[in-house]
Structure 1
Amino acid sequence: MSVSVRPLPPALAEKARKELFEDPGRLASDLQHIKDWIAKQPHLRARTDDQWLLAFLRGCKFSLERTKEKLDLYYSVRTTAPELFKTHYTDPLFEEMLSLGAFVILPKAPAPDAPLVSIIRPGRYDPSKYNIMDLFAVTNTLMRILLVDNDNVIVAGGQSILDLEGATMSHFLQMTPSVMKKMVVMGQDASPFRMKGNHYLNTPPGFETIFNAVKGLLNEKNRTRLYVHNKNYEELYKYIPQESLPAEYGGKAGTIDEITDYWRAKVKEYGTWLDEDLQFGTDESKRPGKPKTAEDMFGVEGSFRQLEFD
């Protein structure tokens, strides 16, 4: 059996072997096993291209059972929380959100086998005009492209910088418990991405309430990978080299506008692939056993209206 996947550069191949237990000799049979399993699931409409399935195998350290669980959960989230995927790349809102530079992924990792870095800047969007879900839907599109386009983020993982400069009470009020639960389930449980660090900059008063709520939803491993630097950029640079960051953060990785242009072109390149991707998900009425519902998966509601901001 032959497989259609990109060969890894030496440094990443060694990391995949040591940390993810990747065995090139077993790859074809592992992929076929997952494809055979998908074909037998009456409720599941899933992509079966090799590079896509390989991302999930790597994200689950080649445990076939965990890979099946994660794939099933990923497509269940797409069905039960469609708002996480609502903004298609052809929607004018997509270009608006992209242009704001509220979310960027650095195209190159700081080193050949280092985690990829993303920067989230919610203060860049007007909360009276846009919602956090608008931003997350655009983020999800770029993340899907990453799954098949970038080996660094799958093998070495990712680090995120949440820069809260300019974030207001109105931004925080959009982060309801339900929204947070959906983001955590999608990012931590349903996605094959491995987060190696979440770094918080320019944290405003009241941030601790949101931070503690998110922390409570994370698993133990990810709770230990949260770093609050506030305005201590030197502390951030110990984890992410300054020169690998955009010019706005004192680095040499280009400006955020230039990085946004890169992603604009990448989305166009993957246009047909993204169009195809609309068909995938689950039909919960055909699921063997109990259908999954949004209430089952994300059953929390409420808000943080008791927050006090200076």
Structure 2
Amino acid sequence: MTIRPLTPELAEKARVELNEDPNRIAKDVQHIKDWLAKQPHIRARTDDQWLVAFLRGCKFSLERTKEKLDIFYSLHTLAPELFNVKVNDALFKEILDLGTYTILPKTATPTSPVVTVIRPGTYDPDKYKLYDIFSVSILLQNMLLIDNDNMTVAGVQTILDLEGVTMGHFLQMTPSVMKRMAVLSQDAAPVRMKGTHYINTPPGFETVFNAIKSLLNEKNRSRLYVHNKNYDEMYKFIPQEILPTEYGGKAGTFKEINEYWKKKVQHYNSWLEDGVKYGTDESKRPGKPKSAETLFGVEGSFRQLDFD
């Protein structure tokens, strides 16, 4: 088995919050591998660290892990637009350079969530599709699932900076786009969402915010925070020292942070490139094949999100 051992602090958090037992991990991973081998319709990664990320995302429930993996790979086939940009595409590097999606290199404490920053105002909605931006963020998140134990154990906090957002950006957030992104985030990705912090909110933001809230259950509505220009309020949740210079922090500029991730991507390049091989063949699925309608429901209606 090639599973990276956790630090003592993260191991304790994983034990208490995720039911992780180091003595059982190898057996659980093997169980999932054996199950995948018997699924004629799923083409899946079987690296140990990758499967551990899914087990952690499901608190080591084997049944939930199987369900999540099935949905994750079904999405590759039934919503390919979410995975449109490949790591060696010129568009990948272009979007990375924009800094629309940035992962902060440090966490507040050894057991804190990873912090990501989304700045839609940095891309031109006439030039780039929201799906392309999302594709790039998925590739980076996949890399972190095998590279960063804070991501798989402690989860993710997000800063959504709406500085410079225009009506063109909002018009890209159609029900169809939101549902696909929601199903990936809720049902497929093995990541615990630990809070979203909205800053620099524009006029009319309340309408979008209320639409987002309507997708969430009570627990997750309580994890939405609107700080607007009040960075001091944000610092109570995300310490100033781990934030970029642009937010009064000490982690370097967005440009410097993104250069760090570009180097990291090079290290994982062939692993990320490999991702194009995986998905499902619905014609081989035992029982009824999945369709876009079974995953996303009828157009115009939202599934309620239930993050952990």
TM class by shorter chain equals over 0.9
- The correspondence of residues 1-310 of structure 1 with structure 2, limited to 5 A, is 3-301=1-299
CA distance in 2, matches of 1:284, 1:157: 31
CA distance in 2, matches of 1:223, 1:67: 25
TM-aligned CA deviation for residue 300 of structure 1? 5.0
Of 57-66 and 228-237, more deviation after overlay is shown by: 228-237
CA distance in 2, matches of 1:221, 1:54: 26
Structure 1 residue ranges (4+ consecutive) displaced by more than 6 angstroms after TM superposition: none
- Which SS does the other structure have where 2:157 is aligned? strand
TM-aligned CA deviation for residue 301 of structure 1? 4.2
**Does the 8 Å contact 2:88/2:273 carry over to 1?**
no
CA distance in 2, matches of 1:220, 1:148: 31
**Does the 8 Å contact 2:81/2:131 carry over to 1?**
yes
**Does the 8 Å contact 2:115/2:157 carry over to 1?**
yes
**Does the 8 Å contact 2:200/2:228 carry over to 1?**
yes
TM-aligned CA deviation for residue 99 of structure 1? 0.6
Amino acid at match of 1:33: H
Amino acid at match of 2:260: Y
Which whole-Å deviations, capped at 9, do the CAs of 1:223-266 have from their partners, x for residues lacking one?
22111111111111111011110111111111111111111111
CA distance in 2, matches of 1:110, 1:33: 35
Q: CA RMSD in A?
A: 1.3
**Does the 8 Å contact 1:178/1:299 carry over to 2?**
no
Amino acid at match of 1:138: V
1:307 equivalent in structure 2: none
How many correspondences in the alignment? Answer: 301
**Per the alignment, do residues 14 and 75 of structure 1 end up closer, same or farther by CA in structure 2, a change over 3 Å counting?**
same
CA distance in 2, matches of 1:184, 1:6: 30
Which consecutive unaligned segments of at least 5 residues does structure 2 have? Answer: 301-308
- Which SS does the other structure have where 2:198 is aligned? strand
Amino acid at match of 1:14: E
Which whole-Å deviations, capped at 9, do the CAs of 1:100-123 have from their partners, x for residues lacking one?
111100122111100010000000
**Does the 8 Å contact 1:75/1:282 carry over to 2?**
yes
**Per the alignment, do residues 275 and 181 of structure 1 end up closer, same or farther by CA in structure 2, a change over 3 Å counting?**
same
TM-score, normalisation: structure 2: 0.95
**Does the 8 Å contact 1:247/1:256 carry over to 2?**
yes
CA distance in 1, matches of 2:24, 2:101: 37
**Does the 8 Å contact 1:177/1:300 carry over to 2?**
no
- Which SS does the other structure have where 2:277 is aligned? coil
TM-aligned CA deviation for residue 81 of structure 1? 0.8
Which whole-Å deviations, capped at 9, do the CAs of 1:38-71 have from their partners, x for residues lacking one?
1111111111110000000011110111111111
TM-aligned CA deviation for residue 215 of structure 1? 2.0
1:306 equivalent in structure 2: none
CA distance in 1, matches of 2:298, 2:156: 28
- Which SS does the other structure have where 2:250 is aligned? coil
TM-aligned CA deviation for residue 134 of structure 1? 1.3
TM-aligned CA deviation for residue 295 of structure 1? 2.2
How high is the sequence identity, in percent, across the aligned residues?
68
TM-aligned CA deviation for residue 296 of structure 1? 2.2
Of 205-214 and 186-195, more deviation after overlay is shown by: 205-214
2:305 equivalent in structure 1: none
CA distance in 2, matches of 1:297, 1:206: 31
TM-aligned CA deviation for residue 222 of structure 1? 2.1
CA distance in 1, matches of 2:82, 2:185: 11
